[in-house]
Amino acid sequence: MWVALSSTLGSRSSQIVVAEGIDPVSLETAARDIDVIVVVTDSDSEDPAAPLRMVRKIGLQRGAVVIADASDKKTAAEALALGIGGYVVRGSDASRLANAITEVADRGMLYSAPAADVLHDTLEATHAFSPSGDMHAMNAARALASALELKDTYTGGHAERVTSMAMRLARAAMLDGAVPSESLEAAFLLHDVGKIGIPETILTKPGGLTDTETLVLRTHPILGERIVAPLGFPSVVRDVIRYHHERWDGRGYPDGLEGDDIPPAARLFAIADAIDAMTSLRPYRRPMNFDAAIQEVLDHAGVQFDPTLCRLVGEVFLERPAQLA
């Protein structure tokens, strides 16, 4: 396998070192001189995912590729939750492993099954090995959010930041259908999970998108809903994922809902999402000043955003009463 791998990688490979085992010290030392770590797990061991946690503890998870049995769903779950860069099923040919290594070396992400299938299997596995026998919504949500941020590096930390902002607004608004809860928090964390199915060339394009690329990007709320639909999340999770790009004036997507027809949690989340988007660095523009982003939201009250919720924005995020324009 390793000879075939070296041949497949060609000029991109200068040396492949095969170690019988790893420990934190030798792993950290070796990492100074290598680009990618390949971890071959043993499904018969007491804890197959232990090496992955070691890699994560040292901070090398994004440069790691895992080889595991296709039936080992627990390791698949931990790989995603830990942010491991690549996952290849044991028995794959050298070209598949070479592709994963190349992608991870370039700071991408490659799993050996379609993204939605991996995520679906992973969440089922999370349910299966949970000590209580119940899927913990927040653990599952964070695993999915971690997987997404490997794919879209420009939004690093976005899910956690915007969730915190949206929960602050939810606590101030106390809307029916958007009362603060663990389910609501999971919904906010998972809002962009459908972007896992969008090509990286679109997500990280350093310039305006073509009309076709825009149409592809705008499928992510539908893809996200399809990913979580069979997984038993509460309806508020699906509502936020599908409808957080709808607009108060009906000109949003994917369904063109208008006003109060947009679910409350999605209307609330759209405000926090817009603020974080405007104040974050993106490949096509510099971040906006926070106060200016708040004013932008207020300027679009009753057009893009729920005007009643906008009345709370200045009070919640600037700790002063806000006046609508």
Active site members: 195
What is the signed CA dihedral for 146, 64, 120, 262, rounded to 10 degrees? 20
Q: Which two tokens stand for residue 101?
A: 């290594």
Scan for tokens 């994963």, then name that residue: 100
Q: Which two tokens stand for residue 11?
A: 């000029």
Burial class (CB in 10 A: 0-12, 13-18, 19+), 277: middle
- How many alpha carbons lie under 13 Å from residue 240 in its C-beta half-sphere? 30
Q: Are 190 and 242 in contact (CB under 8 A)?
A: no
Ordered DSSP codes for 160-187: HHHHHHHHHHHHHH--TT----HHHHHH
